[in-house]
């Protein structure tokens, strides 16, 4: 079956930027779930969010936050026994990093698990604005970004993964050999581009946003 390279049109009033989990717990060295490669994507996400606000494109932040009393973590707690402490509402590290702090008019959606759509009002927020195209960036590329992208496609959204504004993490040897963040990123982005939609760079989508205003 031939594979076409997809490029979705960006229409300001039907496009939204979704910034996944750029929280202190993932993005600051003191965070319990620190992902070192996030430091490289912060300037690009800031640049992209600024361009979206100028183009009247909604900027939506996802945060992974739980109650902290073991009542809402379920399978997540099976996988990460300390999740009720690390991602608890009372932990200041669940807040968005200062460099990307939401601005007036931005939207923040809290989620309990990997996907931004699972048990949240994200779909309602998007459909109320007649959004049909999502630009997705943040961390972790192959976990929360990946799951959100797949759920979005299953809901018939057109999705653009911003390749240079997604951060992956490395994995230890769990029986098949250690995997570097670079290897994870390459496989994840290739899978997105082949199976789910479009992968573009920050510069490419910024230019397309500028072009639509001309």
Contacts of 170 (CB under 8 A, 6+ apart): 178, 179, 180, 181, 184
Distance from chain centroid for Cα 129: 19
Q: Does residue 5 lie in a domain region? A: no
Distance CA 138, CA 161 (A): 10
Helix 202-212 to helix 38-54 angle (10° resolution) is 0
Active site residue 145: no
Calculate the alpha carbon distances from 35 to 30, 47, 81, 115, 141 in Å. Answer: 11, 20, 19, 18, 11
At 214, the pLDDT band (50, 70, 90 cuts) reads low
The whole-model pTM stands at 0.95
pLDDT band at 40; cut points 50, 70, 90:
very high
Domain holding 120, by residue range, is 12-212
Residue 6 is assigned to a structural domain of this protein: no
Identify the pLDDT of residue 8. Answer: 85
Q: Which of 111, 137, 146, 158 is catalytic?
A: 111
Query: Which is catalytic among the residues 84, 144, 151, 158?
Result: 144
| Buried-state track 16-31, b at ≥16 Cβ within 10 A, e below 16 | bbbbbbbbbbbbeeeb
Count how many domains the chain has. Answer: 1
CATH number at residue 111: 3.40.50.850
Task: Identify whether 126 is part of a domain.
Answer: yes
Give domain status of residue 118, yes or no: yes
Q: Alpha-carbon distance 22 to 59, whole Å?
A: 13
Residue 3 lies in a domain: no
Q: Does 164 participate in catalysis according to the annotation?
A: no
In the predicted structure, residue 1 carries a pLDDT above the cut 90: no
pLDDT category of residue 195 using cuts at 50, 70 and 90 = very high
pLDDT band with cut points at 50, 70 and 90 for residue 211:
confident
- Residue 24 falls in the annotated catalytic set: no
């Amino acid at each position: 079956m031939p594979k076409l390279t997809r490029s979705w049109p960006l229409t300001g009033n039907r496009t939204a930027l979704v910034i996944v989990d750029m929280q202190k717990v993932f993005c600051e060295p003191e965070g319990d779930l620190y992902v070192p490669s996030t430091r490289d994507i912060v300037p690009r996400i800031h640049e992209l969010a600024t361009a979206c606000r100028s183009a009247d494109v909604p900027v939506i932040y996802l945060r992974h936050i739980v109650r902290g009393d073991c009542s809402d973590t379920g399978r997540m707690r099976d996988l990460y026994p300390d999740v009720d402490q690390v991602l608890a509402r009372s932990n200041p590290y669940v807040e968005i990093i200062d460099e990307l702090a939401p601005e007036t008019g931005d939207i923040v959606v809290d989620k309990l698990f990997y996907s931004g759509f699972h048990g949240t009002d994200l779909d309602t927020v998007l459909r109320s604005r007649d959004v049909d195209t999502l630009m997705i960036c943040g961390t972790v590329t192959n976990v929360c970004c990946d799951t959100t992208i797949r759920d979005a496609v299953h809901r018939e959204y057109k999705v653009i993964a911003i390749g240079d504004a997604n951060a992956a993490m490395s994995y230890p040897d769990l029986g098949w050999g250690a995997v570097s963040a670079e290897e994870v990123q390459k496989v994840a982005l290739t899978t997105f581009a082949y199976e789910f939609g479009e992968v573009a760079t920050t510069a490419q989508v910024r230019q397309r946003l500028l072009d639509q205003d001309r």
